[in-house]
């Protein structure tokens, strides 16, 4: 996107804000998130990971209109820094119809409902405990190896089992592709006709010793084509099947999160296209409120990604790694958080021993 187009888009958005504010008095509030901070990396960090100095993060705006008793929407607009400038990205455009607690049907672009992190935490940094997301669960344009966004149909609902809840998600969406060394969710049209199918089910305990505990199982499958950015031709394609589980415990000042993803992929253009290629990725994060305003946390994450698998080999970030992080989160106010985070990352594809990062972030929502 050229600077001229960015400026025009920004003017259009800002020009609309007074109208949105007027509508907000009639029940259409404008919400948002922003963050600023600092980041430093050790000299051993690869060039793409090197950071030094003050940073300005995302500026995120979202609206949640209620069109009728049953029809609702969610629209999220993100201004994100990219190579020294800000670009405009529409992260979510989804319209839903609630039939009952058992089913809400969504159509549009949404966060793919696998695991817990990807739907619980979005582009607003203030709502998550840590500064960074687990690396393999990052957004597509930030190095994530899973389709964080999808375009299509999403059905979700819940029902009660005594004081507990069972929640489910099913989705049918455009198949993603690999374009320019990163995943692309095919937001406008499904140009490769490779439909993605997936879902998950989770059980949340409501009372007793397991109050605050959630256990979920997820899975999806799709064909991923690697598109040559120069010619538009398909250089490679693979079938990826992913399944795994997620756990969450939030009670008594404790936050415990864990997710596991198992890949069973096939290279369709290989000499043996039926050969299954196994990889996996996962993380565990623990946090504890030592004071009402202070949370200490730590996270371990790891990915073992088979480089014979075209799905990973053709993504710039599709390499095995380990990362450990620890930090402190201060609740400065109801809608603000000051965070300090230290990370050590080891990229197994390089000969380097690893590198360190230190980060500070002040995040707000409104």
CATH number of the domain encompassing residue 45: 2.40.160.10
Please tell me the predicted confidence (pLDDT) of residue 166.
98
pTM of the model: 0.89
Q: Does residue 297 contact residue 130 with C-beta atoms inside 8 Å?
A: yes
How many structural domains does the chain have? Answer: 1
Please tell me the predicted confidence (pLDDT) of residue 26.
55
Give the domain extent around 158: 41-53+100-365
Q: Is residue 275 part of a domain?
A: yes
SS3 68: coil
State the Cα–Cα distance between residues 355 and 352, nearest whole angstrom.
8
Please tell me the predicted confidence (pLDDT) of residue 192.
67
State the Cα–Cα distance between residues 201 and 216, nearest whole angstrom.
6
Please tell me the predicted confidence (pLDDT) of residue 22.
37
Q: Is residue 23 part of a domain?
A: no
Please tell me the predicted confidence (pLDDT) of residue 343.
97
Please tell me the predicted confidence (pLDDT) of residue 18.
40
Q: Is residue 73 part of a domain?
A: no
Pairing status of strand 336-347 against strand 85-100: unpaired
Q: Is residue 330 part of a domain?
A: yes
SS3 160: strand
Please tell me the predicted confidence (pLDDT) of residue 24.
38
Please tell me the predicted confidence (pLDDT) of residue 12.
35
Please tell me the predicted confidence (pLDDT) of residue 70.
97
pLDDT tens-digit map of 19-30: 333 343 455 778
- Print burial letters for 108-117: b (CB count within 10 Å at least 16), e (below 16): bbbbbbbbbb
Please tell me the predicted confidence (pLDDT) of residue 350.
63
Q: Which H or E run includes 21?
A: helix 3-24
pLDDT tens-digit map of 223-282: 998 888 777 788 888 899 999 999 999 999 999 999 999 999 999 988 898 999 999 999
- Rounded alpha-carbon distances, angstroms, from residue 118 to 67, 149, 280: 26, 9, 17
Please tell me the predicted confidence (pLDDT) of residue 264.
96
Q: Is residue 49 part of a domain?
A: yes
Please tell me the predicted confidence (pLDDT) of residue 193.
73
Q: Is residue 2 part of a domain?
A: no
Please tell me the predicted confidence (pLDDT) of residue 231.
77
Q: Does residue 362 contact residue 35 with C-beta atoms inside 8 Å?
A: yes
Q: Is residue 250 part of a domain?
A: yes
Which ranges of the chain have pLDDT less than 70? 1-27, 191-192, 350-352
Q: Is residue 207 part of a domain?
A: yes
Please tell me the predicted confidence (pLDDT) of residue 207.
87
């Amino acid at each position: 996107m050229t600077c001229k187009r960015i400026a025009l888009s920004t003017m259009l958005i800002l020009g609309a804000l007074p109208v949105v504010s007027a509508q907000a008095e009639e029940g259409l509030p404008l919400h948002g998130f922003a963050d600023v901070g600092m980041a430093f990396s050790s000299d051993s960090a690869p060039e793409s990971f090197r950071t030094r100095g003050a940073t300005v993060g995302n500026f995120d705006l979202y609206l949640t209109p209620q069109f009728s008793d049953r029809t609702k929407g969610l629209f999220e607009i993100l201004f994100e820094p990219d190579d020294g400038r800000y670009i405009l990205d529409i992260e979510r455009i989804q319209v839903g119809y609630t039939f009952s607690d058992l089913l809400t049907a969504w159509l549009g672009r949404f966060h793919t409902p696998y695991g817990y992190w990807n739907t619980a935490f979005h582009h607003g940094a203030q709502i998550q405990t840590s500064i960074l997301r687990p690396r393999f669960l990052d957004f597509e344009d930030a190095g994530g190896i899973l389709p964080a966004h999808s375009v299509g149909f999403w059905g979700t609902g819940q029902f009660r089992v005594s004081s507990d809840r069972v929640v489910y998600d099913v989705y049918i969406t455009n198949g993603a592709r690999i374009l320019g060394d990163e995943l692309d969710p095919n937001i406008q049209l499904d140009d490769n006709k490779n439909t993605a199918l997936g879902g998950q089910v989770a059980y949340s305990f409501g009372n007793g010793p397991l109050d605050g505990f959630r256990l979920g199982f997820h899975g999806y499958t799709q064909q991923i084509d690697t598109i040559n950015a120069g010619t538009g031709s398909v250089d490679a394609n693979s079938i990826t099947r992913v399944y795994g589980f997620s756990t969450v415990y939030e009670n008594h000042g404790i936050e415990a999160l864990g997710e596991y993803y198992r890949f069973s992929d096939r290279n369709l253009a290989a000499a043996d296209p039926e050969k299954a290629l196994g990889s996996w990725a996962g993380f565990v994060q623990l946090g504890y409120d030592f004071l009402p305003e202070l949370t200490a946390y730590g996270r371990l994450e790891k990915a073992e990604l088979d480089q014979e698998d075209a799905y990973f080999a053709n993504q710039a970030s599709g390499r095995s790694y380990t990362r450990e992080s620890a930090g402190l989160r201060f609740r400065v106010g109801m809608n603000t958080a000051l965070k300090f985070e230290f990370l050590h990352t080891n990229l197994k594809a390089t000969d380097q021993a690893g590198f360190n990062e230190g980060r500070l972030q002040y995040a707000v929502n409104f």
